[in-house]
Structure 1
Amino acid sequence: MSLDWIYYAISWILLAWHSAWEAIGVPDGAFAGTNWAWILAIVFLVVTVRVILFPVFVKQIKSQRAMQALQPQVKALQEKHKGDRETLQKEMMELYRKEKANPLMGCLPMFLQIPVFLGLFHVLRRLDPANPGKTLYGWTVGQFESASAAKLFTAPIAGKFGSTADELARLGANGTTVKVMAGILVLVMMGTTYLTSRQMILKTGWAEDPQQRMIQRLMLYGIPASLLISGAIFPIGVIIYWVTNNLFTLGQQQWVLRKYPPPPSVTAKAGGATRNPVQPAKSTGLLGRKKPAPQAPAKPAAPKVAGPKPGAKPVNPKKNRPAKRQG
């Protein structure tokens, strides 16, 4: 299957935004070593894609809420079929089907953005001045030459950390500058990728379902770690796209999580164990001295038996006793 339609779509959006920024006076020539019209074209490629995918993102949040609501039933199934993984998986899939919950919906927005990422990666890799036609998917020669010369702080957007000496020479770039700029952007890309996953997990909590928990761990640790190696082959323009996409995701998730907050029980679980209730502090008086603790009320004293008055005849206790019956 040909992917040319993706390359043409990405090129059309990039060129449209570049023309828009040029029209409003953003300098296309280098300012502070940067061609801002092309940088902003990449940034607003992200905005365009995210606006289109926003309804899918909302469905992702709603699906996650549905999965959280099913956690008690999932846990009951795990207890019921402990040790029988095959039956457990069948029962869980039947539960998801019955309740119309999709465990894979959480990854759908990311999967839908993969073609855009690959398309931009392919287009920027072809921004090589040695390209004989000096044209791309619908690009004019002038647009091609302008983009191939575009830079971010003197580092070409088509350059990458792993660029060869020949590639750097064709781009007219300094190898050290490209490596420093690409290295910084890769670290920022890893950090913001980790933060987007962490933000979601802190708000929604770790899933009880082992499959879902495995996906969460992959998103939180696996993907950022893999970027340390794969980032070396990404053109700087692609890394700009990725970082912008992460920042957009952080803001969008914050807004959606406020609008569709997770259940209180899930929020409490995500925040960790509940703390012990705070004990009231002991009250202190003036000069910082502790007031004595209030004492328990004293028990009422037993009533005293009045003794004989002075000068009274002694009372004979036997006198008032009843006489014994005769047998």
Structure 2
Amino acid sequence: MSLDWIYWAISWILLKWHSAWDALGVGTALGTSWDWILAIVFLVVTLRVVLFPVFVKQIKSQRAMQALQPQVKALQDKHKGDRETLQKEMMELYRKEKANPLMGCLPMFLQIPVFIGLFHVLRRLDPAKNPELYGWTSEQFSSAVKATLFTAPIPGKFGSSADELTRLGVNSGTTVKIIAGVLVLIMMVTTYLTSRQMILKTGWAEDPQQKMIQRLMLYGIPISLLVSGAIFPIGVIIYWVTNNLFTLGQQQWVLRKFPPPPMANTGSSRTGGSSTAASRRNGTATKSPVQPAKGGLLGRRKPAAETEPAKPVIDGKALAPKPGAKPANPKKGGGAKPPAGGAKPPTAKPPAKRQG
């Protein structure tokens, strides 16, 4: 399958933004071709605006997955050790509740073709290649080849060979390696922060498949960039960093405006004791979930927060007989406590011994 349509689309958006900034008089300053840098930045903005509805669906899917976490946990406990049955039950649960565990990765998957397209377009910014391709003119191609970020050419890479740097008009590759190396580190950090931000707000998934995806995005992708970043052109790294910063801001806005629902399995065990104690001090204790009693009459349930009633303090004076009243006969009433105040309790005959 040919990807030329992606290369044409990326080139068209990039050239349109460059023409716009060039028309506004944005030029070169501090060794940086700001018209081309801003063209790459606003390529990201264009993409994120187009994908915003998909991002909203991603948030809704994550909310649905959070709401299902208690049921997922119950299935895990029920089918512990039977992974095949567990997967079937969870797939049936997702189908019934119309939740898709892969929806959280959809925006990232949709951005992969854009990344591939930009990577291909910037890699061909070489004077030895055909300039008039994917709608570029010779003038635009020559301007992009000479575009720089702090004197480092944006088609250059950390792993560029001496011949490649010579064709780009660079005498020493030290500056290119420094700029590219710093950008790769920033790319790794921002990629980690985007995943960490979402996980801290929504919590770790109970579903093993979802949890594996979370770990891959949090640790696996940033570590892989340490190696793959060496072959990325500086312009591609600028795109990646800008996309991460945009994602951080977008996620922060969405999480503040639509906070995730509180989950029973995230943080409740750590904060439950302190919140209960605080509510008791403030006199605002709430009812706790009903738990089965270990004993009790007919196995009846009682609230977990209720404590056993304290034994009443016996007032001896209140139990003392009134003046003139006959003392209780232990045979009839049985179990009367001796009166206080030194009064002599009535004597009872010992019970007759049983024969045989």
Give the conservation status (yes or no) of the 8 Å contact 1:201–1:270.
Answer: no
Aligned to 2:163: 166
Q: Distance in 2 between matches of 1:265 and 1:60?
A: 19
- CA shift at 1:230, angstroms? 0.2
Aligned to 2:139: 142
Give the 5 Å matches for 1:184-203. Answer: 184-203=182-201
Aligned to 2:212: 214
Q: Which letter maps to 2:195?
A: S
Aligned to 1:70: 68
2:230 is matched with which residue: 232, 238, 251? 232
Q: How many residues are paired up? A: 281
Q: Distance in 2 between matches of 1:272 and 1:44?
A: 45
1:55 is matched with which residue: 40, 53, 56? 53
Give the conservation status (yes or no) of the 8 Å contact 1:204–1:270.
Answer: no
Q: Distance in 1 between matches of 2:196 and 2:272?
A: 22
Give the conservation status (yes or no) of the 8 Å contact 1:18–1:41.
Answer: yes
Determine helix, strand or coil for the equivalent of 1:277: helix
Give the 5 Å matches for 1:311-326. Answer: none
Q: Which letter maps to 2:257?
A: K
- The alignment status of 1:3 with 2:3, answered yes or no, reads yes
Give the conservation status (yes or no) of the 8 Å contact 1:78–1:88.
Answer: yes
**TM-score w.r.t. length of structure 2:** 0.76
- CA shift at 1:270, angstroms? 5.8
Give the conservation status (yes or no) of the 8 Å contact 1:205–1:270.
Answer: no
Q: Which letter maps to 1:12?
A: W
Determine helix, strand or coil for the equivalent of 1:159: coil
2:180 is matched with which residue: 179, 182, 202? 182
Q: Which letter maps to 2:203?
A: G
- CA shift at 1:275, angstroms? 7.1
Structure 2: any 5+ residue segments left out of the alignment?
279-314, 318-356
**CA 1:9 to 1:186, structure 2 compared with 1: closer, same or farther past 3 Å?**
same
Q: Distance in 2 between matches of 1:270 and 1:18?
A: 49
- The alignment status of 1:106 with 2:104, answered yes or no, reads yes
**TM-score w.r.t. length of structure 1:** 0.82
- CA shift at 1:265, angstroms? 2.5
Q: Distance in 2 between matches of 1:123 and 1:81?
A: 51
Give the conservation status (yes or no) of the 8 Å contact 1:148–1:156.
Answer: yes
Identity of aligned residues (%): 81
- CA shift at 1:31, angstroms? 1.4
**CA 1:56 to 1:161, structure 2 compared with 1: closer, same or farther past 3 Å?**
same
Q: Which letter maps to 1:195?
A: L
Highest RCO, 1 vs 2 (Cα 8 Å, sep ≥ 6):
1
- CA shift at 1:136, angstroms? 2.6
Structure 1: 4+ residue segments shifted above 2 A: 133-136, 270-273, 275-280
